[in-house]
Amino acid sequence: MKTPKRLQSLIEEGLIDKVERQLMSGKEAAVYVVRRGDETLCAKVYKEATQRSFRQAVDYTENRKVKNTRQARAMAKGTRFGRQAREAAWQSAEVDALYRLAAAGVRVPRPHNFFDGVLLMELVTDEYGNAAARLNDLVLTPELARAHHQTLLSEVVSMLCAGVVHGDLSKFNILLGEQGPVIIDLPQAVDAAGNTTACRMLLRDVANLRDYFGCFAPELLNTSFGPEIWDLYHRGVLQREAVLTGRFEPSLEAVDLVGVMREIDDARAEEAARKTRLQAARESAERGDR
């Protein structure tokens, strides 16, 4: 294919030889399959902030470290330099998280390089060497659903032990590679210790896993792995090889966790009520038309 403009400089720098095809154009980035020598890699080209969606929210940027105070002041003011700094912080957060997680033994695409707003990384492939499918595109047997759910819970625990919460873990951001699930898409990853929203995000990430895999293995729908994991972490006793039960009895110390869970439930109930209202309005409009 014709080389996209944003990838031209990588060819000039000799980082890649050619662009094979576009894989996806998501909300935040366009993703390409590229060649370097006899290797096939993946290039994620970040979109400009203005084209991006809601994820640049305060939740995610809170406590993100920047190099100096001029940068921090500019980011807060929203000047052009500030916007550029915020943009760079957003993009490098994904690169940082990939290196940190790869080092912690979490199965993420191996990062190769970050140049000119483009992340070069391992292309996750299936058993035939094709780009791996997202969980969203798959139908699983109950056995496989249970096995992958288990694997991903261990990954979430390992991530948390490395101080990282994904923050947008869902069936769209997990690929099924040849050896099993691979977690992708980390620009919004948050620092577990320094971010007050980390708990809420972790609970949401784990609930997303439960809801997805619960479609194929319904007994998973009754589990409470999220609160169990956060409680262990919060008490400073979470370990990578933690044996989890999926049950959680809130203790007195866990009282803030109960509050957060209530908050999440309230938000879900509110969303469900909003959908019902929308549906009712739509139906009444349709009846009015007739």
Ligand X SMILES: Nc1ncnc2c1ncn2[C@@H]1O[C@H](COP(=O)(O)OP(=O)(O)OP(=O)(O)O)[C@@H](O)[C@H]1O
Residue nearest to ligand X (CB): 26
* Integer Cα distance of 22 and 17 in angstroms: 15
Asked if residue 117 binds ligand X (CB under 6 A), the reply is no
Please state, in angstroms and rounded to a whole number, the distance separating the CA atoms of residues 290 and 285.
9
Q: Which of 131, 176, 199, 217 binds ligand X (CB under 6 A)?
A: 131
Answer yes or no whether residue 124 interacts with ligand X by CB under 6 A.
yes
185 binds ligand X (CB under 6 A): yes
Structure tokens at 152: 């991903």
Among 94, 155, 185, 228, binds Mg ion (CB under 5 A): 185
In this chain, which stretch among 7-15, 121-129, 226-234, 253-261 interacts with ligand X, using CB under 6 A?
Answer: 121-129
**Cβ atoms 89, 66 nearer than 8 A:** yes
Question: Going by C-beta distance under 8 Å and a sequence separation of 6 or more, which residues neighbour residue 254?
Answer: 227, 231, 234
Burial pattern 45-79, b for ≥16 Cβ within 10 A else e, equals bbbeeeebeebbeebbbeebebeeeebbebbeeee
Stretch that binds ligand X, among 56-64, 116-124, 158-166, 230-238 (CB under 6 A): 116-124
Q: Would you count residue 173 as binding Mg ion (CB under 5 A)?
A: yes
Residue 227 CA to residue 210 CA, distance in Å, equals 12
Residues 36-95 within binding reach of ligand X (CB under 6 A): 42, 44
275 binding ligand X? (CB under 6 A): no
Residues engaged in binding ligand X (CB under 6 A) = 23-24, 26-29, 31, 42, 44, 109, 121-124, 131-132, 134, 172-173, 175, 184-185
